[in-house]
Amino acid sequence: MASSSRLGPGEKGRLTARIDTRGRRGHLVKSIEVFSNDPEKPRTVLTLKAEVTAAERAAPRRRETSSAGEFFR
């Protein structure tokens, strides 16, 4: 989503993009096309590159019980 739907000559804006990486691993390349009324450059392609790695999973806490049934961490 752009920060404004209209920008004047020389003005700047912000573009936000999100990539759903669930179930993906490895090298990922996505592109976004930006269209404008600039006669010299009516179309710009932004390329996003990422390396998707597996998330670290924490080991579950181990609970031990004593003969009295108390829990220790």
Q: What is the pLDDT along the chain (73 residues), one digit of tens a residue?
A: 455 678 888 888 888 888 888 888 999 999 999 888 889 999 999 999 999 998 766 666 666 655 555 545 4
11 CB-near residues (< 8 Å, 6+ apart): 4
- Distance in Å from the first CA to the final CA of the chain: 47
Query: So what's the pLDDT on residue 13?
Result: 85
- Measure the CA–CA gap between 5 and 17, rounded to whole angstroms: 15
3 state SS of 9: coil
Query: So what's the pLDDT on residue 64?
Result: 60
Count the residues in the chain. Answer: 73
- Measure the CA–CA gap between 28 and 15, rounded to whole angstroms: 19
Question: Which DSSP helix (H) or strand (E) runs through 45?
Answer: strand 43-52
